[in-house]
Structure formats: structure tokens, C-alpha cells
């Protein structure tokens, strides 16, 4: 496993992103929606850095079923709080092709919030297949499969406090 972003770099990036969110969105109330399961670590760290009135909710959206290639997107929105009339910040772990972020933002917009913004820990260079981009991005990374800080491979590695690239032999070992 090769470290791509150290624990200290991740922390600094999240702190920087929280400051950008506070500056651009102001002190008013905000509803933060985390995309399960990858955003949990980011969501927990981010909400502790935002000194504004917050509501927190979650939505589950996944197009990766234990593999490294994108599959059919599945969204489960039963746990969403009431969003009509609220300012919403959608938080996700990674912006890859962009299809998940676009689909979830569209679903949220259907709930009639005042506004919808998005924040991601990572944006992969050269992978986007959609025009909309996240409003807040902590890091740009190369087009490589990463784990740690909430991101997984076959439900492993989410607990790493840093972001790492798995070596080919590690991908093969975990596959068994």
C-alpha cells in the first residue's frame, strides 16, 4: 500500500474545505447530507469544524459493489430529513465520473430546498463524464483506485486515517 495523502495532509485539506464552506455559505443554518458509506469519516470531521446551526442526514448511494469499476447506481433515500426550505450541503467521499453526485443532487432538488451545494474529499483528474462539478473539493488526485478515510475496497480499509493506493497484489489478495 502506498500513501497518497498522509493523515496530516487529509486533516489540513478538510480544515481548508470547512473554512471555504463557512466563507461561501455564511453563518446561516445548513442541512448536511452525507452519502453513505464512504463519506462517514469526512462527514464526522467536517461537522465538527463548521460553527453554524447544523442538521445532519444521510442518503445511501452506491455504484460500486465491492469492485473497482462502476456499476448501476442505486439510491436509498428513506433516511433523508425534510429538505424543503432548507439550505443543503451534500457531502461525498469522491467525485469520479460524477454520475452519483448529479443523481443525488437531482433527487435532493426534487425536495425543494432553498439551495444545494456539494463537497467532496477527492476529485479524480480526467474521469468526469458530467458537466456539474462539486462546489467544494479538498483534493485533486490522479486517476487511481484509493482507499482509506472512509473509502473502501470490498468493505476493507475505511478506517485508515490517510488515503492510500492499493498495490495490484493487495487488490488480488483482498479479492479472495
Q: What is the CATH number of the domain that holds 17?
A: 3.40.50.2020
User: Given this model, what pLDDT does residue 112 score?
Assistant: 97
Q: Which domain holds residue 31?
A: 2-175
Cα–Cα–Cα angle for 26, 90, 125, rounded to 5 degrees: 105
**141, 125 in Cβ contact below 8 A?**
yes
What residues act catalytically?
96
User: For the chain, what is the domain count?
Assistant: 1
* pTM (predicted TM-score): 0.90
Chain segment 79-130, per-residue pLDDT in tens: 889 999 999 999 999 999 888 899 999 999 999 999 999 999 999 998 788 8
Chain segment 118-132, per-residue pLDDT in tens: 999 999 998 788 888
Strand extents, DSSP E, the chain: 2-5, 30-36, 54-62, 74-76, 87-95, 115-124, 136-141, 146-147, 163-165
**22, 50 in Cβ contact below 8 A?**
yes
Amino acid at each position: 500500500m502506498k500513501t497518497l495523502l498522509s493523515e496530516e495532509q487529509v486533516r489540513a485539506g478538510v480544515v481548508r474545505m470547512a473554512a471555504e464552506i463557512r466563507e461561501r455559505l455564511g453563518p446561516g443554518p445548513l442541512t448536511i447530507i452525507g452519502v453513505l458509506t464512504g463519506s462517514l469519516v469526512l462527514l464526522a470531521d467536517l461537522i465538527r469544524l463548521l460553527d453554524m446551526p447544523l442538521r445532519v442526514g444521510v442518503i445511501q448511494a452506491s455504484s460500486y459493489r465491492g469492485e473497482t469499476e462502476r456499476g448501476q447506481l442505486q439510491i436509498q433515500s428513506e433516511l433523508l430529513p425534510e429538505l424543503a426550505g432548507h439550505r443543503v450541503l451534500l457531502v461525498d467521499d469522491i467525485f469520479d465520473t460524477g454520475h452519483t453526485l448529479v443523481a443525488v443532487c437531482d433527487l435532493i432538488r426534487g425536495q425543494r430546498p432553498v439551495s444545494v451545494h456539494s463537497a467532496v474529499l477527492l476529485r479524480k483528474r480526467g474521469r468526469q463524464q458530467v458537466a456539474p462539478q462539486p462546489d467544494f473539493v479538498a483534493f485533486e488526485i490522479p486517476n487511481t483506485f484509493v482507499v482509506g478515510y472512509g473509502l473502501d475496497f470490498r468493505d476493507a480499509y475505511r478506517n485508515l486515517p490517510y488515503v492510500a493506493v492499493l498495490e495490484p497484489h493487495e487488490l488480488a489478495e483482498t479479492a479472495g
